[in-house]
Structure 1
């Protein structure tokens, strides 16, 4: 979600913010900070202005000013539309949260939905759905009765697996992403869900949807928008039949046993953290492979593809 999309409601403040943006684009971040300070004097409770000011202040190495602005933003917006808590954690002012704010993730993908496929596949070299489908095919060349595509987005994984599935269910936090998936006509069910929540609040078992109904569960490029994977893997365990497959990707955090928050505001996970959470929820790892998930700022983003099986 771009804060520049949000007007302050004050013409002069907006004009100063526009000038500040032009200065920042030219690398003049200290001057941009000064102009945003003037804008915020006129509209002190402008959330988008505060997050923009914090961004310029960080780039100008005015870290304390950035932290104060982000704390003020959280006071004004407890749902944290702009991910202030994550930004504070990167600045070392807060502990890294176990989960990002759901409202932040939802708004991010609602805003991104219209250009998601073109941006990710055509410009960033994104191939995780195809690679996960290939991993599944190499291990289990068979038809699946019910598949739950967690964080289905616009349906990129659904397109890869549809011809091998009787019933395809897609779940996502963003209604705009679900709408794009609906346009493709791939899914038998599309519903809003939040993978960061415990099963009763997740949306995966609403309207009479049974537990233990799936013989394949996927999560293609979604777990990087979660920190601790405990809840997400509990949900996968509740969805899975005995012997069901669970195919997913994570960004690779390297050595260690936990997860970290990257400057992209996405989470990366260690292999050990993933294995631990899988074991706790009755899954064995069948295959894992390290790969480049996408490009970001001209640099490769490294990840791990997993295929696991539900014990029993």
Structure 2
């Protein structure tokens, strides 16, 4: 069985790898009919079929999520919120991604829209085709842009563009390590998705790979151990970045660099976009850098990927400890 979610480019996709089942064959078949109706935008049929599923299997979280999404599409917000909240009660880790739907309906603060469980399930599903889709269909080039920015930042600071111990946050399949191959004394990566980490392991470029959330990973590292901390296209799944900045500053040596990309927001602070990604403003990044003790080497406008053939506005920053 499958559940609906969003791909890293914000489009609907099924989470087929979770093999979701209600435990009742009749309910599972009706659920598949409901999914098909939803995909065809027949939301009334999808909602009706989802209710039939729940008559048979009342604790089937995926059917509650589908009922919630179909009801939201029909502008029946009361039923939508109730169904989505029930799905979240049944699966608190939120691999189904219903927190995003609740946030869009105003029933959950935007800061709480994306959970670790959702990101893990999303990228486990996406892992087999990640590199080809990201670098091909979306023309993703975040790691290459960061590598170039680091070379320029090192020239500004009159230091060699070679780095000591390096930490790659949200390392995914290892694209960042590939872009910096031969430039780091040693590099360790962390990611929520075990399937993405397995692909990173195959590159043979990492000295260590860790499964976990990036702030918790940094919190477990020793003071001033790293020369470079990287975060390529990972902060788009985080709202406030205070803890990440604070821990990155702590683990960096004096003179160490913190390089990352974000999706750009023209306003103050940050916002959850329609593409299910957070965007951060330049003033927010500069203010946070100052409060956590970083010096800004550069912050510049870039586009790390495309959406529907158009560049997605972003920012690239290199900060110094």
Give TM-score scaled by structure 1 length: 0.90
Name 2:285's counterpart in structure 1: 274
CA spacing shift, 1:255–1:66, aligned 2, 3 Å: same
Q: Distance in 1 between matches of 2:39 and 2:297?
A: 47
Q: Distance in 1 between matches of 2:90 and 2:308?
A: 32
Displacement of 1:35: 1.3
Displacement of 1:139: 2.2
Is 1:189 paired with 2:189? no
Name 1:259's counterpart in structure 2: 270
Name 2:58's counterpart in structure 1: 44
Structure 1: 5+ residue runs without aligned partners? none
Displacement of 1:45: 0.8
Q: What is the aligned-residue RMSD (CA, Å)?
A: 1.9
What are the Cα deviations for residues 167-207 of structure 1, in whole angstroms up to 9, with x where unaligned? 11111122221111000001111112312x4xxxx13364x
Q: Distance in 1 between matches of 2:314 and 2:280?
A: 9
> Which of 272, 285, 305 is the aligned partner of 1:294?
305
Q: Name the SS of the counterpart of 2:189 in structure 1.
A: strand
Q: Distance in 1 between matches of 2:190 and 2:60?
A: 33
Aligned structure 1 segments of 4 or more residues deviating by more than 4 angstroms: none
Q: Name the SS of the counterpart of 1:252 in structure 2.
A: strand
Structure 2: 5+ residue runs without aligned partners? 6-13, 155-159
Q: Distance in 1 between matches of 2:288 and 2:112?
A: 14
Displacement of 1:47: 0.9
Q: Distance in 2 between matches of 1:203 and 1:150?
A: 9
Q: Work out whether residues 169 and 229 of structure 2, in 8 Å CA contact, stay in contact via their aligned partners in 1.
A: yes
> Which of 236, 242, 245 is the aligned partner of 2:254?
242
Structure 1 stretch displaced more, 292-301 or 266-275? 292-301
CA spacing shift, 1:37–1:12, aligned 2, 3 Å: same
Name 2:187's counterpart in structure 1: 168
What are the Cα deviations for residues 201-220 of structure 1, in whole angstroms up to 9, with x where unaligned? x13364xx532111211100
What are the Cα deviations for residues 71-113 of structure 1, in whole angstroms up to 9, with x where unaligned? 1112222222223223211111122225732222222222222
Name 1:212's counterpart in structure 2: 224
Q: Distance in 1 between matches of 2:107 and 2:165?
A: 44
What are the Cα deviations for residues 217-263 of structure 1, in whole angstroms up to 9, with x where unaligned? 1100000111100111112111211111111001112121x211122
Displacement of 1:21: 2.2
What are the Cα deviations for residues 150-172 of structure 1, in whole angstroms up to 9, with x where unaligned? 11111001001121111111111
